[in-house]
Chains A and B, each alone.
Chain A
Amino acid sequence: MELPSALARDRVHVFVAGPGIGEGCAIALPNGEWILIDGCETRPESGVERPLRMLVERFGKNHSSVSHLILTHPHADHVYGFIDLIEELSPDYIGVTGPDPQKNLARELGLDPPSEATSALTRRRRVKTALARIQAWSEQHPGHLCSLCSGVSLQLRDAGTLEVVTRAPDAAVLSTWWSDGTLPRMIRDDTNALSIVLELRWGATRLLFGGDLPSDGQTGWRRVHQADPRIARPHVFKLPHHGSRGALYEPVLGRPGDEAAWIVTPFSPSQLPRADVDDGLDRLLALQSPVHLTAMSMSKRLQAAIDRDEVEADQLVAIRDALLQKGFFNDEREHVLAGTGVGGLDPIWHVEIDEAGTICSRHHGRASLAVYRAQR
């Protein structure tokens, strides 16, 4: 199940990385292009590692050119490493949320925060700097910054029948937010609603990359589904917002059916995804089992210690408890986070799919595992 040594050129390869804070997707197309979505960093003992860069380098023999680097929304956990990806991989295009070619988030730098904890302040500073970097990059590459909103397709090179279309946020809603002054409030209080959702269509194949888009709200999944119900039940789905219940819109998840690869990244500070009854992971597993988890929602050091490929949902809590060090209260309501140690290619799922929608292979790194519905 370890990551492959080379990528077959006639397939689409999806990699989703998520070590516990931050996530990134890398899509290798049959024509050799890479589309990268968001930044992602891990911090093993050896220093900072960037999974997406490592993937592009590792498989660079056949897939060497990054055509698009996309920031789904300006949250720190999606921004980590983004600047370095720009500088190290020289993408042809960068995509950010925006209602039309002249407007995009990179021009909305008014993110100066009120007084707050240093940890939050530093995160905001990194977001602000990343947006400034995108803006500077766009000045050096006129016409190559894409404002993405519903209906906008990525310009691919000789991709044949393959297309990548933006499904969210809704273009009309974004235009209104830009013109009526709502945007700064959205950036401050409801950034996930600005999340870009991308759909890759290739023959019968449907892939969906859900960012952190919530179910409801003017741009949420409900609206996305209303605009085009065919997005439901994709073959490969990077689930939105770490599989939180508030991001799961069941009409998009669809009914159990053909084989699919649903991938969830954890967000440790919020203990996502949650496996409790009727919570996000539980609901997902009712519709699709297994769900691919890039890492357990726990300390990265502890993630690295997990030595198994699959697990049933009700074992997740037991595994976590067994691995966790003792805290202050030592009860089930305490969630210990600290620790480092996952290497860049450990918290990754890889899915290989053909034009017919057949999943040809799946691989994962050391910290990732498949979560199955419990045999209750």
Chain B
Amino acid sequence: MTAEPGAIVDLSTLDVAAAAIAEAVEPGRPQWVVGQRGSGRSELLERLALHRRTICVRTVAPEHADAAMHAVVQAAAGITDAEQRRRAAESSEPRAAARAVAECLADDDVTLAVRLHASWSHTERPFDAANSDGAGDDDRARSLRHVRDVLQAWTSHPRLRLVLITDRNADPAALGVDHGSDHRLQPLAVVDGVLTEPAHWGTLADAAALVSTIPITAPLDAQTLRASVAASALGIGKARLTQILACNSSSQRWWQLATALRERIAHHSRLGSVLRSLLSLRVPLPIERLDEFVSDDADLEHLLVHGLGYGVTELRIAAPIRRELSATLGAPSADEHARLTDFCQQLDGAPQHWKTSAAAWWLEKHHHALLAGELRVDVWERAADDFPGPAWHWLRGRQLSRAGHHERAASVYARAVERFPNDSYSWHYLGFNLAHAGLRRAEAQSAYQRAIELEPDNPWWNSRLVTFLVAQGRFAEAQRAWSEALERLDPDGDRCCQDPWLADHVHRWVAQAWHDAGESERASAVLAQLPADIIAASSRLRRLQHDIADALEAEQLGESVYPWDVPMDQRWKAPRTITEDDASHVVQWAPGRVVDVDEAVRVVYALASEPAEPKRIALRELSQQEWRELSGGQPPKANTYFELLRFSDGSVRIAIVPSTPHDLDPRASAIARAYLQRWHSPQPSH
């Protein structure tokens, strides 16, 4: 068994597989090729191109908003006729663009071979991606939906010859892919004695030789072997490597290797800097161009090519290492992205840009130009009217919007809707950014409404129009818009009872907007449209429900007498800040708050001696001396919460409600500790 130059595995099996797949691929019957890490999926992609007229596409993760169009543009590069190529990819909807490209490729009898990013082919629901807190969730969910649209457009095309290369966890049935046959790639066997063959390792030869002395019970794949050699070269001792490689679990072994590498790389600033740039490239770097990153540093070059990376002509870095190191090294700076932009420009085939096979580099250039922000904004501007879809406008608009440049972001989206008038996303964010810039609100409203016209069942578009109106205090219009939104999204009122996601992304947004406007009753009315079990299933809905209930109570009383984060079901039952013994002697109690303090201490407290009795607020001024006597010497402070207690012997005491767990009296009873449970569960923002 021999290896090609630069390889430590026998790649000849891939030639056989590529030939078989090329032979088997038929129009309308996608070939589904599955392989685990180390099975040569990327090499297979290159080999497929040798057998038929094939256009190869490498997809990127849906975290990148251009993921769908990124794939479509690469595929379009396989269309022979330049005008057809341009027209095919020119659609605001990735599904339509993908279908048009597939049509042209089928006409040209070109095979489309797609190396799917893992998250393209797993069965995560697009909207599940939006289940965490924070901005941008909707963007990721939308991107995931778009990549699914592209995949669906290609797999369902009746005449397209399609090969999909994916990992072993992908499930074609779950994705609705009716495929011809499966090809399962086996892990590529490592060439015997390769560790002791200095020609394979360059300056890492000594490290490789050391690894060769480690007793290994089960055969290791090539990537593990390379990572071990890199770890050794970076100073990880034999004992630790032995321990790592003795792990039976492959994932555990990888995690330990990546951790070890991460620790060592933290001490190599040059290596860290180069790696940070390389890891941010979404396209494998041609090894022949590596010198531009390592500048004649042979040790560094060999560490990257023979140890941390793999690949024959292109430098690839295994996913676990990529993941671990990316998290450690952080994102490149704007300067680094600017340098990467310049680098990509050398490879992007300009001025032919995406019309050539260098499409991926052209896309990459603009990706980094965007991340370089103002440093390379000219690159984005020059190409803005040339992008074959609106995704790049989205990226630029989002970048500006997140940086608070709403007016400039609105200009970008305005430009997008001029070119792509049916792009609901750009209409929506045109409205959003105009609204946030406080500009041309009538235009913002029209933009929101246009987005809804184009995509009437989009939950976000519908709820944002309502929240836009609520934030301006346009209550009557907001109520109308809300009714219309429900009519479009959930006309029978049953969807929100079955779909927690819809409740979380429509009702919650709208209720939150009413709450933020100080309209707790209207906020409460929105949540009242949801069944209790739907609210109970969402931590965010539960939090909002609590916030609203707290605000309603404060409004009804006229004052707050409980800290906002005390759960509603713990209020009004009994004094909670004293020992159980003391509590048994309490004959009257009232929760309260210090309103302000100057010469006097002004307090409010709620009277609720009987549960059925309406609660009443009382005001009283105490002298500083009275306060200190009643509170046991505590200094008075505004917005301190307390419990006013009268005991059976007639004495009155003020017990301070601890504002943090550190304030808790160590002698506090179990009851008092229970009162503090509010700190042990996620609480609403205030």
Contact = CB atoms under 8 A, between A and B. Distances in A.
A136 B474 contact: yes
A328 B618 contact: yes
Interface residues of B, number: 41
A333 B620 CA distance: 6
A119 B473 contact: no
A118 B554 contact: yes
A122 B555 contact: yes
A255 interface: no
Contacts of B320: none
A135 B476 CA distance: 16
Nearest to B441: A139
Given A119-B559, A122-B555, A129-B471, A336 B686 contact: no
Given A117-B593, A125-B518, A133 B473 contact: yes
A335 interface: yes
Contacts of A123: 518
A337 B617 contact: yes
Interface in B607-665: 607, 614-621, 639, 644, 646
Interface in A114-151: 115-130, 132-136, 139-140
A339 interface: yes
A182 B550 CA distance: 34
B560 A334 contact: no
B534 interface: no
Closest 10 CB pairs of A and B: A133-B473, A338-B616, A125-B518, A126-B518, A136-B472, A119-B554, A117-B560, A129-B517, A119-B560, A118-B554
Interface in B475-521: 475-476, 516-520
Contacts of B590: 328
A226 interface: no
Given A129-B473, A135-B472, A334-B620, A122 B554 contact: yes
A86 B557 CA distance: 27
Interface in A64-109: 83-84, 86-87
Interface of A: 21, 83-84, 86-87, 115-130, 132-136, 139-140, 269, 271, 299, 325, 327-329, 333-339
Contacts of B560: 117-120
A126 B618 contact: no
A328 B587 CA distance: 11
A261 B517 CA distance: 37
B619 A122 contact: no
Among A21, A84, A134, A337, max chain B CB count under 10 A is at A337
A84 B616 CA distance: 28
22 contacts: A84-B475, A87-B476, A119-B558, A123-B518, A125-B517, A129-B471, A129-B518, A132-B473, A133-B472, A133-B473, A133-B474, A136-B473, A269-B558, A269-B619, A325-B607, A335-B618, A337-B558, A337-B618, A338-B557, A338-B558, A338-B607, A338-B615
Interface string B120-139: 00000000000000000000
Contacts of A336: 607, 616-618
A211 B619 CA distance: 25
A334 B619 contact: yes
Nearest to A130: B473
B528 interface: no
Interface in B572-627: 588, 590, 593, 605-607, 614-621
A84 B588 CA distance: 41
B471 A132 contact: yes
Given A117-B639, A334-B618, A338-B606, 18 more contacts: A118-B554, A119-B554, A122-B555, A124-B518, A126-B517, A126-B519, A127-B518, A130-B473, A136-B441, A136-B472, A327-B607, A333-B620, A334-B620, A335-B620, A336-B617, A336-B618, A337-B618, A339-B614
Contacts of A126: 517-519
A81 to B, nearest CB: 11
Nearest to B479: A87
A84 B473 CA distance: 9
B518 A117 contact: no
A127 to B, nearest CB: 8
B588 A116 contact: no
Among A87, A115, A116, A118, max chain B CB count under 10 A is at A118
B442 interface: yes
B564 interface: yes
B84 to A, nearest CB: 47
